[in-house]
Amino acid sequence: MNPCFNRHFPHGVWEEYAMGALSEKDCKPLEEHLLICSTCRDLLSEADEFIQVAKVALALPAPEVGEGQLLMTDLAE
C-alpha cells in the first residue's frame, strides 16, 4: 500500500477496505490517510454506499416471471 499523504488511493482499494478484505497491516496507511484526505473519505463513503445498496439488492426475492415475459435465457436462443 502507498502510505504517501500527497496521493489518493484508488477507488478499488476503498471497496476492499469497506468490505473488510484487507489485512490490518494494509489498513493502517489507509486509515492514516483518511485523517487528512477528504477526497478519499468521499471515495470510502461511496464504496460503503455501493456495498449497502448491493446487499439490499441481493437480499430481494427474484421477481416472478409472468406469461408473455421474456427471460434473459430466452434472448440467448
Domain ranges of the chain: 1-60
Mean pLDDT, the chain, integer? 84
Asked if the model's pLDDT at residue 2 lies above 60, the reply is: no
- Compute φ and ψ for 70, nearest 5 degrees: -90, 145
C-alpha to C-alpha distance for 41 and 23, rounded to whole angstroms: 19
Cell of 68: 408473455
Q: What is the DSSP letter of 3?
A: -
pLDDT band for position 66 (cuts 50, 70, 90): low
What confidence score (pLDDT) does residue 18 get?
A: 94
C-alpha to C-alpha distance for 36 and 43, rounded to whole angstroms: 13
Asked if the model's pLDDT at residue 77 lies above 50, the reply is: yes
The predicted model scores a pTM of 0.68
